[in-house]
Amino acid sequence: MSSTTLRGRDFFTWLDFTRDEIEAMLDTAHDLKRKFIRREPHRVLDGQTLHMLFYNSSLRTRNSFEAGMTQLGGHAHFLQPGAVYTPALKGEEVAYSTERISDVARVLAEMGDAIAIRIYGKPTGWLYGKGDLIIREFAKWSKVPVINMEDDMYHPCQALADVMTMQEKLGHNLQGKKFVMSWAYSGSVAKPLAVPQSAVISAAMMGMDVTLAHPEGLDLDPKILQATQDLAKKNGGAFKISHDMDESFKDAHIVYPKAWTVQPTDGSGIMDEAKAKSVFEANKHWICTQEKMALTNDAYYMHCLPADRDMEVTEEVIDGPNSIIIEEAANRLHAQKGMMALLMG
């Protein structure tokens, strides 16, 4: 695949890309990782600037983009709403400290080569879809690519790192391998849907045998479920939903147990915190234990991190021999370098 097909494109979700285009990003990521390990120079974005706007906290995303841009010969600026003027949608300007997104996007685009944004949850009033809308508003005005560093619907960079890690562990061709995205209990209901939604999309695109497991009341976005079903069919994989964690773990090659919150169903888009708390507290037994791991086909344990230990997963599993969480986090660096090299190069 020629990189020219990807140059200048935004990166909101895998759903905007063909499998060939995603494979090109992954192949580039593996190649750049080999160069990184051998200490071979790979300054393919020499002198370029990535502007990063973080409305939420981050360890992995911020540091992997910053280190990645340095290694590619460029630089990443860290911008925090509140420290810069807070980018606002039309009608949202409420104070001297806000600035219209149309102006922020156009100004940053004049000074750099891409804009990356993280926004979900509290800064959006837990209004499902608003983070994604804000990122797309940036893209409407920016003449340089806009990269989603996690919004309330998608975390496409995490998905790239996850698939890259699975390829390293299970082989490049993931066709038919059983991937289980499972809900797991957390003491906090402030858990976006972006990671599980991107995980099922990406595993289905790679032709995996995908099971989504969760208690009743924790359904993902129906649009994402339909897209996952379509991708599984198109790519020779499978997709099913289970409400039984033990049953879903049987014969799995990969398990990815993680909390996510209740999808709003009343049309308001706003998370119902009381309902979420009630569903969470009724399902404390959804924890990834060694007993559950024993049901699998010697599966690898994955998590995007940060994990809620002793709630989502026992220490024995997360620190055990089948846990690949550190490789997964490390691959954020390489996966995003592969994506940026093609979109910005």
What is the nearest approach in angstroms of ligand CP to the Cβ of residue 242?
Answer: 25
Residue 107, both tokens = 């100004």
Nearer to ligand CP, 59 or 83 (CB): 59
Q: What is the dihedral of CA 70, 71, 73, 78, to 10 degrees?
A: -20
b vs e for 265-291, b when ≥16 Cβ sit within 10 Å of the residue's Cβ?
Answer: eeeeeebbeebbeebbeebeebbbeee
State which of residues 163, 208, 304, 313 lies at the interface with ligand CP (CB under 6 A).
304
Nearer to ligand CP, 65 or 179 (CB): 65
What is the nearest approach in angstroms of ligand CP to the Cβ of residue 46?
Answer: 26
Helix (H, G, I), strand (E, B) or coil at 52: strand
Alpha-helical regions (H) of the chain: 19-38, 60-71, 101-111, 130-141, 156-170, 194-205, 222-234, 245-249, 273-281, 290-293, 315-318, 325-344
Distance (Å, whole) CA 27 – CA 1: 10
State which of residues 3, 5, 58, 322 lies at the interface with ligand CP (CB under 6 A).
58
Nearer to ligand CP, 57 or 226 (CB): 57
- Interface with ligand CP (CB under 6 A), residue total 8
What is the nearest approach in angstroms of ligand CP to the Cβ of residue 5?
Answer: 27
Distance (Å, whole) CA 219 – CA 209: 19
Distance (Å, whole) CA 246 – CA 267: 33
Is residue 60 involved in binding ligand CP (CB under 6 A)? Answer: yes
Q: Which of 192, 321, 227 is nearest to 15 (CA)?
A: 227
Stretch that binds ligand CP, among 59-67, 84-92, 167-175, 217-225 (CB under 6 A): 59-67
State which of residues 137, 150, 152, 162 lies at the interface with ligand CP (CB under 6 A).
150
Q: Which of 253, 248, 279 is nearest to 265 (CA)?
A: 279
What is the nearest approach in angstroms of ligand CP to the Cβ of residue 10?
Answer: 19
State which of residues 190, 238, 270, 305 lies at the interface with ligand CP (CB under 6 A).
305
Q: Are 73 and 46 in contact (CB under 8 A)?
A: yes
What is the nearest approach in angstroms of ligand CP to the Cβ of residue 118?
Answer: 7
Nearer to ligand CP, 59 or 294 (CB): 59
Nearer to ligand CP, 88 or 135 (CB): 135
Is residue 151 involved in binding ligand CP (CB under 6 A)? Answer: no
State which of residues 16, 59, 268, 281 lies at the interface with ligand CP (CB under 6 A).
59
Q: Are 198 and 159 in contact (CB under 8 A)?
A: yes
Distance (Å, whole) CA 202 – CA 306: 20
Distance (Å, whole) CA 31 – CA 21: 15
Stretch that binds ligand CP, among 58-66, 135-143, 177-185, 233-241 (CB under 6 A): 58-66
What is the nearest approach in angstroms of ligand CP to the Cβ of residue 103?
Answer: 27
What is the nearest approach in angstroms of ligand CP to the Cβ of residue 295?
Answer: 26
Is residue 311 involved in binding ligand CP (CB under 6 A)? Answer: no
Q: Which of 194, 341, 192, 185 is nearest to 278 (CA)?
A: 185
Is residue 67 involved in binding ligand CP (CB under 6 A)? Answer: no
Is residue 330 involved in binding ligand CP (CB under 6 A)? Answer: no
What is the nearest approach in angstroms of ligand CP to the Cβ of residue 56?
Answer: 7
* 155-214 positions binding ligand CP, by CB under 6 A: 158
Distance (Å, whole) CA 187 – CA 190: 9
Summarize as ranges the residues that interact with ligand CP (CB under 6 A): 58-61, 150, 158, 304-305
